[in-house]
Amino acid sequence: MSKVSIKKHKKSRSKLGTKIFKRVNLRFKLFYKLLETTMGQTNKNKYYYPELRRMNKIMRKFYKTPQLQLKATDNLIPFNFETEDGVIISGMKYITDPNSKKWVVSLHWFAGHKYWALFEARPFIELGYNILVFDFRNHGESESTDFVTMGASEVKDFRAAMKWLHENHKPDTIGLMGMSMGGFTMQYGIVKYNEEFSKYNIKWAISDSYYGSIKTLLVHTRNVWLKNLVSYKKVGKSINRIIKNQIQDTDLDWNDLDVFKYYESDLKMIFPMFLMHCRNDNVTPFDDSMRLFVKRSVHSRDDEILIYDYSSHCLSLKHHYYQTVYRWLMFENKIMKNDEATERALKSLGINSEIIDNNFLEKYEVNTFYVNSTKNKKKGK
């Protein structure tokens, strides 16, 4: 094959691989783009942080949870940092208390941006946490690169963010939050670079609608969207071919994108994790969260898992605001042990005992699966 033919073949293969991974969350991307557009155009000359104005409107009109709105003036601070491979990442910090040494690092989903990550972490502002968010490469205001890699390159952005936070603020306590691709990138980073992350004082993490490996993500995509196009007999071969092409095109080890395998080895740093998903998720497989909960049970007995029967992908704060926020804050309190602060935060977010007793299972829910490993541990299980 001539050099020209090889070049054309590689180019077409690259387009195919990139197209597949861009399509993983295409409908999700279009949905949120349309949603943000209907809530008003961004005009930085007219509004101070117009993104907040638009996101607040989404919280009021779409989420129906005005409690999640944010007010910000000089406490919302943009900044940039650089990754190990020279990509410039757009970051932002929300300073709840300049003297606080507690931080939440929140990672957004594929096709999202840092403002979605900020609003996902909104409940923890009531507990005095400062928030750090950033746009993954090829997202928001961060620098673009050649490929969408679903975590393989994005983990470099996460590592650089953690390094920046450690060097500039030296937190005593860090909580992590990750949604969908952000959830995978968070999970992948803490196990692949376990020793590196052990110096960051991470106390807890929340994983929302993540996928455990690139292979389980692709199988789920086939089962939901492509079952008439890809025979189940050819799924294995098709996935292996896609991954092989991505390895050749990106020079990254896509076979390593598997969180589960790392729990077969010794991990120096383990901290409690709250896993959540919905059974009807058509973007990521909910059983990956179940599987990870079981895998981690050998290492951590303070994990919790919450599986809703119904909740659109990464929309638990919309469909199940009361239970989601209550479970999150009670999980954090189990580790940090500040009952008074948690009670104040719940009250500020509109969650009281009457709501918990009467509206814990919201109107769309048939059944909720919830396990608190700490309670099982106390019972000697």
pLDDT tens track for 207-249: 999 999 999 999 998 888 776 666 677 788 888 888 998 898 8
Q: Where are the domains of the chain?
A: 48-213+257-372
Superfamily of domain 48-213+257-372 in CATH is: Alpha/Beta hydrolase fold, catalytic domain (3.40.50.1820)
Length of the chain: 381
DSSP collapsed to 3 states, 49-100: CHHHHHHHHHHHHCCCCHHHCCCCCCCEEEEEEECCCCCEEEEEEECCCCCC
At 204 the three-state DSSP class reads strand
Least confident of 70-74, 97-101, 302-306, 375-379: 375-379
The shares of helix, strand and coil residues in the chain, as percent rounded to the nearest 5, are 50, 15, 35
Residue type, 300: S
- Higher pLDDT among residues 90 and 310, named by residue: 90
Q: Are 119 and 147 in contact (CB under 8 A)?
A: no
What per-residue confidence (pLDDT) applies to 19? Answer: 54
pLDDT band at 274 (very low <50, low <70, confident <90, very high): very high
What per-residue confidence (pLDDT) applies to 358? Answer: 75
For residue 344, the number of C-alpha atoms closer than 13 Å in the C-beta half-sphere is 9
* pLDDT > 50? residue 121: yes
Residue type, 305: I
pLDDT band at 45 (very low <50, low <70, confident <90, very high): very low
| C-alpha distance from residue 226 to each of 22, 110, 233, 347 (Å) | 15, 20, 13, 45
On the 0-12 / 13-18 / 19+ scale of CB atoms within 10 A, 161 is: buried
Backbone angles phi, psi at 293, to 5 degrees: -60, -45
State which of 69-73, 136-140, 231-235 shows the largest mean pLDDT: 136-140
Listed residue (301, 305, 300) closest to 327, CA to CA:
305
User: What does the DSSP 8-state code read for residue 138?
Assistant: T
* pLDDT > 70? residue 162: yes
Q: Which residues, 6+ apart, have CB-to-CB distance to 246 below 8 Å?
A: 17, 21, 147, 149, 252, 254
At 160 the three-state DSSP class reads helix
CA angle 206, 342, 99 (to 5 degrees): 85
* pLDDT > 80? residue 360: no
Which residues face 371 on adjacent strands? 305
- DSSP-derived pairing of the beta strands 173-179 and 130-134: unpaired
Backbone angles phi, psi at 234, to 5 degrees: -105, 5
pTM above 0.85, yes or no: yes
* pLDDT > 80? residue 379: no
Structure tokens at 352: 């009281």
| C-alpha distance from residue 224 to each of 11, 85, 110, 219, 344 (Å) | 28, 35, 18, 9, 42
